[in-house]
Copies of this chain bind each other. A is one copy, B any other.
Amino acid sequence: MSFEGMKVFNIDHGSAIPLHLQVEDLLRELIKNPEYQEGKLLPNEVALAKQLGISRNTVRQATNKLVFERLLVRKKGVGTTVAKDNITTKLDKWSSFTHEMGEKGVTFRNYEIEVAQVEADEEIRRLFNITRKSKVVKLERLRGLDTGPVVYFISYFHPRVGLTGKEDFTQPLYDMLERTYHTVASVSKEGISAILADKELSKKLEIAVGDPVLFRKRVVCDPGAGLLSITLAFTGQINLPIPLR
């Protein structure tokens, strides 16, 4: 079997290895090709089955597993592609995670709010060194994949940071701050842990209450200007990088 003159794959009907496993391996190899990584439709199920001399059911048995792993995305009426926003590959470079997501799948809203009315108000007051009545800008961002929302960000900006509304929140926050406010922002503190989703989080991330969620805190500051923002990120819906069994 070959597609567009690529490497030739074969199925061994006499092998002790089940056909669907052979197909699975074959597909894992096939989708390494850049064209598929870039979104090209895989050969459709019927054609693939015919070319390999097996039934469509067997092909589906193989692709089912890859779809479960979220390596592939099947779309009715269209076809099957490599999951472009494959969370596993994205998380390979966690730091640049937000950078690579692009504009797609990003929603946000921001508004002024009294410190007293936000979560973690004490911590924020302490870090920002402001009073309970002070107003901060709260920014909520939701980032998603084909499979749904994945990361929920909450950022609080120091009162001195006046947002214009034209900021580009699809970029990492500190990039934006640097460009917009000509500061020398740097990540001063980072914490990471696992928590359980509460009602609000579960709604945002479209997961069940009690599902495990990755929680990350990042403080962006300017050594000269003082603290600028605190960002909380909640990440659900992540496949185990290694499927344990």
The interface of chain A, by Cβ under 8 A from chain B, is: 28, 64-65, 68, 70, 87-88, 91-94, 119-120, 122-124, 126, 189-196, 198, 212-215, 217, 230, 232, 235-236, 238-245
Q: Known contacts being A65-B68, A212-B212, A213-B212, is A119 close to B245, with CB within 8 Å?
A: yes
Q: Known contacts being A120-B243, A126-B28, A243-B123, is A238 close to B190, with CB within 8 Å?
A: no
Choose from B88, B214, B242 the contact partner of A214 (Cβ within 8 Å). Answer: B214
Q: How many protomers of this protein does the assembly include?
A: 2
A192 near B94: Cβ-Cβ < 8 Å: yes
Residue of B nearest to A86 (CB): B244
Choose from B91, B191, B198 the contact partner of A192 (Cβ within 8 Å). Answer: B91
A193 near B238: Cβ-Cβ < 8 Å: yes
Contacts of A94 in B (CB 8 A): 190, 192
Complex Cα spacing A189 to B88, Å: 10
Minimum CB–CB distance from A177 to chain B (whole Å) comes to 20
What DSSP secondary structure best describes chain A's contact surface? mixed
Complex Cα spacing A213 to B196, Å: 10
Complex Cα spacing A96 to B192, Å: 14
A214 near B192: Cβ-Cβ < 8 Å: yes
Complex Cα spacing A94 to B94, Å: 32
Complex Cα spacing A28 to B65, Å: 20
Complex Cα spacing A195 to B64, Å: 23
A190 near B88: Cβ-Cβ < 8 Å: no
Complex Cα spacing A80 to B215, Å: 30
Choose from B193, B196, B238 the contact partner of A239 (Cβ within 8 Å). Answer: B193
Contacts of A212 in B (CB 8 A): 193-196, 212-213
Contacts of A120 in B (CB 8 A): 242-245
Residue of B nearest to A200 (CB): B244
B191 near A215: Cβ-Cβ < 8 Å: no
B189 near A215: Cβ-Cβ < 8 Å: no
Known: A91-B190, A194-B195, A212-B212. 5 other contacts (CB 8 A): A91-B191, A93-B190, A191-B242, A194-B236, A217-B241
A232 near B242: Cβ-Cβ < 8 Å: yes
Minimum CB–CB distance from A105 to chain B (whole Å) comes to 19
Residue of B nearest to A90 (CB): B245
Complex Cα spacing A245 to B70, Å: 7
A244 near B195: Cβ-Cβ < 8 Å: yes
Residue of B nearest to A201 (CB): B244
